[in-house]
C-alpha cells in the first residue's frame, strides 16, 4: 500500500470493470472501445473536457496516417474524423488534416455517451495502491476530496505514465546520453490573418533569423512552424521550444509554461511587426496547457526500437500501425532530426509494448508505451496513439475474466480490432 495516502480511510467514489485514467486521444479511445465491447468502463479526466493534447494542448493537425496510398489507422480514428466532418470541424482547403478542437470536445463526449462510458471530469490521479503484480485501487482528487476507485483492469492514458510509474512500474525518461526529453511547445493561434498576403515559408524564416540576430526572439527553434486550420483567416503555430525541462516535475513544468508564454509574446510581436499579412492579426488563443512530446516511457514486455520503425518491421502481435517518420526536436536546443520510413511502408506496434513488465492488470494507452527515445518520436503522434488506445480498450475487456492482460488471445484481439474497422497488418495488407 502507498505511504502517501491511507486508502482504507477513503470513501469509494466508483468501481468499474475497466478504469481508464486520462481522457486524451489514447485514453478516450481505450474507454470507448472497452465500453463498446461490453465492459463497465470509468474514464477519469483532470480537465472539464476530453481530448488531451488535441484540445488542452491545442496540437494540430493530425500527422500522417496513410502508407502506400491506403489508410493504416482506421477504426475509432476514422469515426472521429467523420464526426468532426459532420460538425463542420474537419479539414479545409489549405490543411486537409486539420480539425477544430472545440468540435473535438463534442465528438469525444458523443462517443463516450453512446458507448456508455462513465465519466469523472475535474478529477486527478492522486495515488496508486499496488501489490507486486497488480494495481489494486487508485486515489483521486476532485472537488469531492480524496476518494478511492476500484477496478479489475486499469488503463494508463495519462501520457506521462503517471499511473504506471506511481504503481511501481519500470520507466525511462528522455534520451540515453543525458535523460533530456524532446522539447515542449506551447501552441497558439493568430486570427484575422490576410493569408493571401503572407510571404513564403523561406521568407518568413529569413525574417525570423534576422529577429533572432537582433535579440528580439529568444526561442531556440531554428524555423517557424505553422499550419492552417478549418477556419478562414486563422493560422496555427507549433513553433515555441522549451528545452531541458522535465514534464513530470511540478516546478520545471511551471517554468516551462512561463517560458512558453514569453516566447508566444515575442512571436506575436514579431509576426505583427515584420510579417506581411499579420499587420491586423491578433492572438486568438494559447493552449490551456503546454504541449508535451516526451516524458516517461513505461518499459513493457517489448521495447519498440528505432530500427523496427525505420525498417517498417511487422509483428505477429501487432495491434496498431504507424507510418510517421522519426521526428526528434533537439532536446537541448536548435535543430530537428527527420528520418523517413521506406516509401509506402508502415511498421507494427506489438501488443507487448503496452503491457508493463511485472503487472498483470495494467495496460498503456498513451504516448508513454514501451519504446526507445527515437522510436517514441515516431509513435507519439495522435493518430497512432488513438489506434493504440482502441487496442488497449479491447484488450482490457478481453482480460476481465482472468484479470490478466497476458492471458488474452492476442490473435483474437487482432481479429476483433479488424471487426471494429481497424487496419491490422496480415488482415488487410
Determine whether 189 is exposed, middle or buried from the number of CB atoms within 10 Å of its CB (0-12, 13-18, 19+).
buried
pLDDT at site 426: 87
CA distances to 37, 135, 181, 243, 295 from 174, in Å: 35, 26, 4, 12, 6
Contact 376, 367 (CB under 8 A): yes
Cα–Cα distance measured from residue 22 to residue 28, given in angstroms and rounded to the nearest whole number? 8
Q: How many CA atoms lie within 13 A of 58 on its CB side?
A: 24
Cα–Cα distance measured from residue 314 to residue 50, given in angstroms and rounded to the nearest whole number? 32
Of 60, 15, 62, which Cα lies nearest the Cα of 385? 62
Q: Which residues contact 158 (CB under 8 A, 6 or more apart)?
A: 21, 22, 24, 27, 125, 366, 368
Q: How many CB atoms lie within 10 A of CB 141?
A: 16
pLDDT at site 428: 60
> Which element (helix H / strand E) includes 374?
helix 373-379
Cα–Cα distance measured from residue 26 to residue 156, given in angstroms and rounded to the nearest whole number? 9
pLDDT at site 128: 98
Q: Which residues contact 209 (CB under 8 A, 6 or more apart)?
A: none
- The grid cell for 67 is 502508407
Cα–Cα distance measured from residue 175 to residue 331, given in angstroms and rounded to the nearest whole number? 8
pLDDT at site 26: 98
pLDDT at site 329: 96
DSSP 8-state assignment for residue 69: T
Cα–Cα distance measured from residue 29 to residue 382, given in angstroms and rounded to the nearest whole number? 11
Report DSSP letters for 390-410, one per residue.
HHHHHHHHHTTTTT-TTSS-H
Cα–Cα distance measured from residue 399 to residue 395, given in angstroms and rounded to the nearest whole number? 6
Cα–Cα distance measured from residue 154 to residue 232, given in angstroms and rounded to the nearest whole number? 42
pLDDT tens, residue order, the chain (429 aa): 456 799 999 999 999 999 999 999 999 999 999 999 999 999 999 999 999 999 999 999 999 999 999 999 999 999 999 999 999 999 989 999 999 999 999 999 999 999 999 999 999 999 999 998 999 999 999 999 999 999 999 999 999 999 999 999 999 999 999 999 999 999 999 999 999 999 999 999 999 999 999 999 999 999 999 999 999 999 999 999 999 999 999 999 999 999 999 999 999 999 999 999 999 999 999 999 999 999 999 999 999 999 999 999 999 999 999 999 999 999 999 999 999 999 999 999 999 999 999 999 999 999 999 999 999 999 999 999 999 999 999 999 999 999 999 999 999 999 999 999 999 998 864
Distance in angstroms between the alpha carbons of the first and the last residue of the chain:
47
Cα–Cα distance measured from residue 406 to residue 351, given in angstroms and rounded to the nearest whole number? 10
Cα–Cα distance measured from residue 262 to residue 253, given in angstroms and rounded to the nearest whole number? 14
pLDDT at site 429: 46
- Identify the bridge partners of residue 190 per DSSP, sorted by sequence position: 235, 283
DSSP 8-state assignment for residue 357: T
Per DSSP, helices labelled H in 92-160 are: 101-115
What is the reported pTM?
Answer: 0.97
Amino acid at each position: 500500500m502507498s505511504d502517501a495516502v491511507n486508502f482504507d480511510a477513503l470513501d469509494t467514489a466508483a468501481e468499474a470493470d475497466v478504469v481508464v485514467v486520462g481522457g486524451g486521444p489514447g485514453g478516450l479511445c481505450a474507454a470507448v472501445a472497452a465500453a463498446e465491447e461490453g465492459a463497465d468502463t470509468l474514464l477519469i479526466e483532470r480537465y472539464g473536457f476530453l481530448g488531451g493534447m488535441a484540445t488542452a494542448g491545442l496540437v494540430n493537425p493530425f500527422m500522417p496516417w496513410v502508407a502506400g496510398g491506403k489508410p493504416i489507422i482506421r477504426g475509432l480514428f476514422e469515426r472521429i474524423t467523420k464526426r468532426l466532418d459532420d460538425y463542420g470541424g474537419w479539414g479545409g482547403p489549405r490543411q486537409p488534416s486539420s480539425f477544430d478542437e472545440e468540435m473535438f470536445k463534442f465528438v469525444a463526449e458523443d462517443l463516450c455517451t453512446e458507448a456508455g462510458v462513465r465519466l469523472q471530469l475535474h478529477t486527478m490521479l492522486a495515488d496508486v495502491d499496488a501489490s507486486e503484480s497488480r494495481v489494486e485501487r487508485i486515489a483521486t482528487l476532485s472537488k469531492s476530496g480524496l476518494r478511492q476507485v476500484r477496478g479489475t483492469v486499469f488503463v494508463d492514458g495519462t501520457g506521462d505514465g503517471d499511473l504506471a510509474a506511481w504503481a511501481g512500474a519500470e520507466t525511462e525518461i528522455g534520451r540515453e546520453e543525458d535523460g533530456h526529453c524532446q522539447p515542449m511547445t506551447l501552441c497558439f493561434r493568430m486570427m484575422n490573418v490576410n493569408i493571401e498576403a503572407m510571404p513564403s515559408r523561406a521568407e518568413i524564416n529569413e525574417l525570423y533569423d534576422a529577429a533572432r540576430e537582433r535579440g528580439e526572439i529568444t526561442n531556440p527553434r531554428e524555423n517557424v512552424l505553422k499550419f492552417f486550420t478549418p477556419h478562414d483567416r486563422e493560422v496555427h503555430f507549433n513553433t515555441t521550444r522549451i528545452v531541458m525541462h522535465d514534464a513530470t516535475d511540478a516546478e520545471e513544468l511551471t517554468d516551462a509554461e512561463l517560458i512558453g508564454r514569453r516566447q508566444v509574446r515575442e512571436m506575436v510581436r514579431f509576426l505583427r511587426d515584420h510579417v506581411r499579412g499579420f499587420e491586423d492579426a491578433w492572438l486568438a488563443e494559447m493552449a490551456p496547457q503546454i504541449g508535451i512530446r516526451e516524458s516517461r516511457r513505461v518499459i513493457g514486455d517489448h521495447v519498440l526500437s528505432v530500427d523496427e520503425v525505420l525498417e517498417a518491421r511487422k509483428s505477429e502481435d501487432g495491434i496498431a500501425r504507424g507510418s510517421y517518420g522519426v521526428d526528434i526536436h533537439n532536446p537541448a536546443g536548435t535543430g530537428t532530426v527527420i528520418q523517413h520510413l521506406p516509401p509506402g511502408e508502415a511498421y507494427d506496434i506489438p501488443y507487448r509494448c503496452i503491457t508493463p513488465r511485472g503487472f498483470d492488470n495494467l495496460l498503456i494507452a498513451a504516448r508513454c508505451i514501451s519504446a526507445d527515445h527515437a522510436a517514441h518520436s515516431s509513435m507519439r503522434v495522435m493518430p497512432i496513439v488513438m489506434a493504440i488506445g482502441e487496442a488497449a480498450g479491447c484488450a482490457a475487456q478481453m482480460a476481465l475474466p482472468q484479470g490478466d492482460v497476458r492471458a488474452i488471445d492476442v490473435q483474437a484481439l487482432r481479429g476483433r480490432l479488424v471487426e471494429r474497422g481497424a487496419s491490422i497488418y496480415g488482415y488487410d495488407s
